Amino acid sequence: MKTSRIITRASYVLPRKWVDSIGRLLVKGGFNTTKHRYLIGLAMLGALCLGALSSFICLAVMRDYKFAAFSGLLIIMAEVGGAYFILKSTAFQRSKRIESVLPDALRIISANMRAGMTIENALWSAARPEFGPFKDELSRVAADTFGGMPIEDALLCMPERVDSRLVERSIDLMVGGLRLGGRMTDLLDHIAADISSRQSLQRQIETSTTTYAIFIVFSALVAAPMLFAVSTFYSEINEKTLLGFTEGMQVNSAARARIASSGIPMLLPSAQADQIGFADIRLFSLGVIIITAFFASIIIAQIKEGEAHRGLSYVPIFVAVAMTVFLLGLYGLETAFAGMI
């Protein structure tokens, strides 16, 4: 009991606005939010423990306080970002499942009302297991209505639990029809037809933009990593070749000055500690590849779905594939030209 209280109190470090925002995201992801402060505190303490463990290991191995502190901070940021990404991705997947069954559910509600049911009973009867998470939403709206809440208020609470503009606009139209006293059956049929038409148009847009998406994916995940692999391998050959050249010639200070005036030492990793070498170029290549993969996922989501933030779900896959192609390409080049280095 004391442990859970300590974990819950850890969440009070964050501003209330942040906690409420995470709570709403948990609701949209379909999680139980009665203990959202406990979950937030658990995630925070877990991140701190992992960060401290990472710092301790790096300090024991590297004997570098700055690197240990940086690695611990990086682990904490990675866990916090990963937790937020999981919540955001879960809410997104849940909203997509609801949007896919929304037209069918509205048609069933309309058919139930044509058969003589009230809208409350029609909503309750339409809550079928094949609708997945939308079944829970319909059941909750019907239960709130049977509990005494006005049907308009119960419906307006649904968009707060679903991260979807389509659901929000559909509910607004339904509430407007109820308040104006219109024919709900015809309204529901029209809303369902419009949603189906919109989804069909969305699929056509996705089909027509497939060529652009393939080009972006190929450029970011295959072409760019392979080019960086070739450039990195070339720098490795230059570094080792010129290093052997300078060691073999045993040039004196005057000769080094003449070589420096010709510009060759820019490629030499030899005696100067501040010089750019193979390891620096490899690290730079990895950084650029990660950034390129990140923006490629954002652009793909903007083209395919019209919402850039939904590309966050593609980021881990894109980054993993791009880094794998780069490392495999570099390893393949080193293996094929092993005699040159």
In angstroms, rounded to a whole number, what is the distance separating the alpha carbons of residues 113 and 123?
A: 9
Q: Is the dihedral of CA 167, 172, 178, 183 positive or negative?
A: negative
Name the token pair of 186: 């015809």
The string of DSSP codes covering 135-202 is HHHHHHHHHHHHTT--HHHHHHTGGGTS--HHHHHHHHHHHHHHHHT--HHHHHHHHHHHHHHHHHHH
pLDDT at 1: 56
In angstroms, rounded to a whole number, what is the distance separating the alpha carbons of residues 177 and 169?
A: 12
pLDDT at 260: 55
Contact 267, 239 (CB under 8 A): yes
Tell the burial category of 111 from Cβ atoms under 10 Å away from its Cβ (0-12, 13-18, 19+). Answer: middle
Nearest CA among 166, 33, 39, 3 for reference residue 98: 166
Contacts of 312 (CB under 8 A, 6+ apart): 85, 88, 89, 297, 298, 301
Q: Name all domains of the chain by residue range, CATH numbers in brackets.
A: 2-93 (no CATH), 94-205 (1.20.81.30), 209-340 (no CATH)
Which value, in Å, is the radius of gyration of the alpha carbons in the chain? 29
Name the token pair of 39: 């979950």
Nearest CA among 175, 165, 172, 99 for reference residue 137: 99
Name the token pair of 116: 């003589």
What does the pLDDT look like over 188-221, one tens digit per residue?
A: 999 999 999 988 888 887 788 788 888 899 999 9
Please identify every stretch of the chain with a pLDDT value under 70, giving residue numbers as ranges: 1, 32-34, 62, 64, 242-275, 339-341
What does the pLDDT look like over 101-113, one tens digit per residue?
A: 999 999 999 998 8
